[in-house]
A and B are shown apart, each in its own frame.
Chain A
Amino acid sequence: MGFEFLNENRGAKSHKGASNLIAGVLVILISFMALALVVTMGMPALNRAKEAAVINEATQHMRELDSTIREVASEGTGALRSTAMKVSGGTYSVNQKSGSVDFTYDMKYGLIEAGSFFKEGNLYMFSGTNGKASEYDLDGDSVAELVLENDILRIGIQKVANSSSPNTDTIDTKNNVKILNLKEGMVNVTPADTSVILDNLPSTSSGVGYSELVSKGDYLSKAEAIVHVNSTDISYDVVYTLPSNADFLIVKIVNAYYN
């Protein structure tokens, strides 16, 4: 009896040891599962929060920089301001070609919907990645154009010389936009005249100059080309911007002054 009791006791001890082990393994397993769950569920939320912080930070930095630039511009020559920027993501660059300061960031968590555009004072916001800027013959006339492209549109801008030989070739803004192509249904329109005329002076629609892409490549938030015209009376740039996912082109005159 005593023996049996002893054995029973032994068995109970042995079972207790086994159940402790199983419980321990279970606790570890559950902990790992919980950790995996937290990592799986929580990391995107963390990354989203991080992305939101980068966007907020960039918006603040760009507003501050915009304010600094305008302040300095309103003062005398030689005026200087410095501003400290603590950057936690994205790239800031000065783009002399388009006369702008740009911030770019690769978004992964869809905080701002792709293909949305916004303007606030001097600040433009674009999001998307299907902008493409390249050079090829779009209208089939055996002459390459500067092609601004996204998922919706293809726009052919006349290609004339380049900025390294700015005043050698004649340029007529009549031919600036050679073709507009809507990809859905492949519908084309080939304008006969896309002139740009300043201050009612017919002479300003043509002159010498060049055209070029602001940056060549794929996966851009916008495709952009500049046509520089040095006419008898006025020198200016026409900037054509095709935002990603847009079915419209933004056209703007910059750097315009009387000769």
Chain B
Amino acid sequence: MKKLLFFAILILMFTTAASLCQAATLKITIDADKMKPEGKIICKASRDIHVFGTVTASDTGLPVANANLTFSYGTTTIGTNTSDNSGNYNMTFSMAYEGNYTLNVTGSNTTYSGTNSSILLIRSRPEYVEYRMTYHLGTSNANNVYRLGTSSITNQTMNNTNTNNLQYSSNLSHYYICSYDNVDYANGMLLAMIHSYKGSYLDYVNFSSTSSNPNYTLELRNKVEGSSLILAYTKGTCQLVQDKIQVVESQAIPSRSLAIFSTGTPSAYHYEIRAIYDKIYINGTDSWTTGTNLICAEKTAVSNNKPMVYVRRC
């Protein structure tokens, strides 16, 4: 009986100590002028970032004045400040270099301590782009079928339910998402979003539909620099895309139209070679033709971390 009482007291002591420990924390909120809806702070290098929030005691919910706050990333301290009488704090700083950081705000006073963190992305250029297509083929989506470039190719029918089928590039054998209708159209009609460039530059493809909407949505998210999107709209079914995908994967764009059309061969036509850049701004308006031309390329500036090259006759 004594032993039981002893254990009960022990448990009570532990519980009390634990609750006291829990009470002894600061609840710190983090907000920023550059805070995005998904909870990340995204800003360019060398630009001011204004971080603000409140400090409250987690047990009472009351604001904590004069809490000492330290702002840091990794092992580097950005600065320190104290909360005001309303528990509010603010801090303005800038980051010199681009990169992915975790901003830590650590607070303490004689009674409490606590910490909170936020993702801090310093960059001048966006990394990913998401392309979206919301539509249906034919009279309704009833006869539409969709397909993703997974290893086991499966045609998925629309069944008027809430569907979300997101596949990251690691789950895909081929980098496309496609839908078709071969009931309303005898030869079939397809619309496909095909990733152009290396597979590692694709983030995901996604199919989504809701029971209340006659349209459905295809999405493809890939890297801004290097890759592009091939939006195919042609006759046939998604098998056509599957059959031609090797060409896209090997040379970034299809070498000819995906389906066969009898368009005739013109007697004369244009041939064009285009040099286009993701990471360089091209400036200039000069043109030159037959003869000997001296062409100059000059780096005139760096804008948004991207070199600007002026190409001209000289």
Contacts and interface: CB of A to CB of B under 8 A. Distances in A.
Among B191, B295, B302, max chain A CB count under 10 A is at B295
Interface string B123-160: 11111111111111100000000000000000000000
B286 A73 contact: no
Contacts, number: 350
A226 to B, nearest CB: 13
Interface residues of B, number: 97
Interface in B183-236: 185, 187, 189, 191, 194, 196, 215, 217, 224, 228-235
A249 B277 CA distance: 19
B196 A250 contact: yes
Contact of A92 (B196, B256, B261, B287): B287
B60 interface: no
A94 B282 CA distance: 8
B266 A199 contact: no
Given A106-B269, A222-B272, A250-B196, A94 B285 contact: yes
A221 B270 contact: yes
Contacts of B270: 104-107, 126-129, 219-221, 244
A210 B187 CA distance: 38
Nearest to A92: B288
Contacts of B189: 182, 187, 189
Nearest to B233: A180
A62 B299 contact: no
Contact of B275 (A84, A86, A123): A123
A91 B271 contact: no
A84 B292 contact: yes
B179 to A, nearest CB: 10
B50 interface: no
A54 B252 CA distance: 25
Contacts of A184: 235, 261
Specify the main secondary structure of chain B where it touches its partner: strand
B171 to A, nearest CB: 20
Among B124, B134, B251, B271, max chain A CB count under 10 A is at B271
A221 B271 contact: yes
Interface residues of A, number: 110
Interface stretch (A11-19, A32-40, A74-82): A74-82
B314 interface: yes
B48 interface: no
A236 B280 contact: no
A1 B139 CA distance: 109
17 contacts: A80-B296, A81-B296, A81-B297, A84-B295, A90-B289, A94-B284, A96-B283, A98-B274, A99-B281, A122-B275, A129-B266, A192-B215, A244-B269, A248-B257, A251-B131, A256-B126, A256-B129
* 7 interchain residue pairs of minimum CB distance: A257-B304, A129-B269, A93-B287, A193-B134, A94-B284, A247-B234, A221-B270
Given A91-B288, A100-B275, A193-B215, 4 more contacts: A101-B275, A108-B267, A251-B229, A258-B125
Interface of A: 55, 58-59, 62, 65-66, 68-70, 72-96, 98-108, 110, 112, 114-119, 122-130, 151-153, 177, 180, 182, 184-185, 187, 189-204, 219-222, 233-234, 236, 243-258
Interface of B: 36-38, 42-44, 123-137, 185, 187, 189, 191, 194, 196, 215, 217, 224, 228-235, 251-259, 261, 263-307, 309, 311-312, 314
